[in-house]
Amino acid sequence: MADDWRSISPGDTRPLPCLLPPAYAQLIRDAEEPEAQALRRQVLPSDDEASFSAGESSDPLGEARYLVTPHLVHQYSNRVLVLTTGACLGYCRYCFRKSFTARTEGFIEAEEREKICAYLKKTPNVQEILISGGDPLTVPPDELFEFLNAIRHARPDILIRLCTRGPVFAPELFTKEFIARLRSLRPLWVIPHINHPAELGPAQIACFTALSEAGIPQQSQTVLLRGVNDIPETLACLFHRLVCLGVKPGYLFQCDLAPGTAGFRVPLQDGLRIWNRLRELLSGLSLPQYAVDLPGGGGKFPLSVPALSDRIDCLDTVSGLSVRGSDGKVYTYPPN
Ligand SMILES: *Cc1c(COP(=O)(O)O)cnc(C)c1O
Where in 84-148 does DSSP place strands (E)?
A: 128-132
Residue nearest to atom 14 of ligand 1 (CA): 81
Where in 44-193 does DSSP place strands (E)?
A: 67-69, 72-76, 79-83, 128-132, 159-164, 188-192
| Rounded mean pLDDT, 173-196 | 98
Phi and psi, residue 277, nearest 5° = -70, -40
Q: What is the tens place of the pLDDT at every residue in 78-130?
A: 999 999 999 999 999 999 999 889 887 799 999 999 999 999 999 999 999 99
pLDDT on residue 12: 63
- Please state whether the predicted TM-score (pTM) of the whole model is above 0.85: yes
Higher pLDDT, 7 or 229: 229
Lowest mean pLDDT among 144-153, 231-240, 306-315: 306-315
Cβ of residue 126 lying under 6 Å from some atom of ligand 1: no
User: What does the mean pLDDT of the chain come to?
Assistant: 93
Nearest atom (ligand 1) to Cα of 130: 10
pLDDT on residue 3: 44
Report the C-alpha gap between 336 and 320 in whole angstroms.
8
Q: Going from the N-terminus, what domains does the chain have, and what CATH number goes with each?
A: 5-310 (3.20.20.70)
**Sign of the alpha-carbon torsion through 129, 119, 293, 254:** negative
Higher pLDDT, 14 or 78: 78
Pocket test for ligand 1, best of 75, 79, 125 (most atoms within 8 A of CB): 79
| Rounded mean pLDDT, 208-223 | 98
Find the helix or strand (DSSP H, E) in which 122 lies. Answer: helix 110-122
Cβ of residue 76 lying under 6 Å from some atom of ligand 1: yes
Residue 5 pLDDT > 90: no
Report the C-alpha gap between 173 and 167 in whole angstroms.
8
Residue 10 pLDDT > 60: no
Report the C-alpha gap between 203 and 24 in whole angstroms.
10
Residue 13 pLDDT > 80: no
pLDDT on residue 318: 86
Q: What is the tens place of the pLDDT at every residue in 16-33?
A: 999 999 999 999 999 999
pLDDT on residue 126: 98
Residues with Cβ within 8 Å of 322's Cβ and at least 6 positions away in sequence, in order, are 312, 313, 314, 315, 330, 331, 332, 333
Query: In Å, how far are 13, 190, 208, 288 from 250, measured between CA atoms?
Result: 30, 11, 15, 5
Q: What is the tens place of the pLDDT at every residue in 238-294?
A: 999 999 999 999 999 999 999 999 999 999 999 999 999 999 999 999 999 999 999
Residues with Cβ within 8 Å of 8's Cβ and at least 6 positions away in sequence, in order, are 99, 100, 103, 104
Q: Are strands 289-294 and 247-253 parallel, antiparallel or unpaired?
A: parallel
Contact between residue 126 and residue 117 where contact means Cβ atoms under 8 Å apart: no
